[in-house]
Structure formats: C-alpha cells, structure tokens
Amino acid sequence: MNYTPEELQNLVFKKSVVGGYNEDMVNDVLDKIIEDYTNYIRENIELKDKIAALNEALQYYKNIEDSLKKTLMVAQKTSEEMEKNSYQKSENIIKEAEIKAQEIINEAKQEALRIRHEYEEMKKKFRAYKSKAEALLISQQEILRSMVEDEETGS
C-alpha cells in the first residue's frame, strides 16, 4: 500500500509493553521519509509537466515538419510543372521559328523565281531590241551605201 505524505505524518505506532521503539527516533525517521516522499512526489509532478511540455513542443515541431514536407512537395511539383511548361514553350518557339524560317525561304524562292523569270523576259526583250537595232543599222548602212553610190554615179 502506498502512503501519502499526510498519511505517513498521521501514522501512529503502537507501543509495546516491553522494549518499545523510541518515539523520538521513529518520529525523526518518519519526518525524513515524509520529506523525501514529498520531494519525490513534487519532482515526479515537475517531470510529468516537463514531459507534457516537451510532448507539446515535439508535436509543434512535427506539425512544422509536416507543413515543410507539404510545402516542399508543392514546390517540387510546381518546379516540375514550370520546367515542363518552359520546355513546351521552348518547343513552341522553335516550331514557330522553323515555320517562319520556312515561310521566309519559300518567299525567297518565289522572289528568286520571279526575278529569274523577269531576267529571262529582259533577255528576250534585249535580244529582240538587239535584233531590231541590228536590222535598223543594216538598213541605215544600205541607205548610206546607196546614197554614196548615187552620189558617185550621179556626179
């Protein structure tokens, strides 16, 4: 049976008729036991309070740890999504650039074909002009020859 300090303090020993205990000695021992027992109870309560406070702090830090884990997971997921989105954006930019480059190449080819066609037309016109100019010169030479001949024969 466990005694409380109050029970120990109120404890009365029966005296035997012959050679009983010395009452002062028994009371001194009981006083020391009561004091130690009271100290143990107080220390036990303090330790229980400390354990409760430490458990509260531990729970607080576990909650912070859980929050940090969740935040880290969200940050990691966001980072992965951002990486994926930036990769898709870069792919789109590359595709758009390739399409634009192909359009520019096609336009340049069309322009080159137009210029080549225009060049060929100019060559044809030049040849035609050259032929006409040669024919005109030849006819002018013949006119001059005939004039020189007429002058030589007529004079």
Token pair in block for residue 8:
């120990």
State yes or no: pLDDT of 155 exceeds 70. no
What tokens does 22 get?
Answer: 């010395």
Contact present, 8 and 37 (Cβ < 8 Å): yes
Residue 34: partners with Cβ closer than 8 Å, 6 or more residues away: 5, 8, 9
Cβ partners under 8 Å of residue 8, min gap 6: 30, 33, 34, 37
Contact call for residues 5 and 38 (beta carbons, < 8 A): yes
Assign residue 93 a region (left: φ > 0; alpha: ψ between -120 and 50; beta: otherwise): alpha
Position 69 confidence tier, pLDDT thresholds 50, 70, 90: very high
Instruction: Retrieve residue 62's tokens.
Output: 């576990």
Give the C-alpha separation, 86 to 128, whole Å.
62
pLDDT confidence tier of residue 63, bands split at 50, 70 and 90: very high
User: Does pTM top 0.75 for this prediction?
Assistant: no
Residue 77 to residues 84, 87, 127, Cα–Cα distance (Å): 10, 15, 74
- Assess whether pLDDT exceeds 60 at residue 1: no
d(CA 7, CA 29): 15
Q: Is the pLDDT of residue 17 over 80?
A: no
Task: Express each pLDDT in 78-135 by its tens digit.
Answer: 999 999 999 999 999 999 999 999 999 999 999 999 999 999 999 999 999 999 999 9
Q: Is the pLDDT of residue 5 over 80?
A: no
User: Which stretch of DSSP H or E encloses residue 4?
Assistant: none
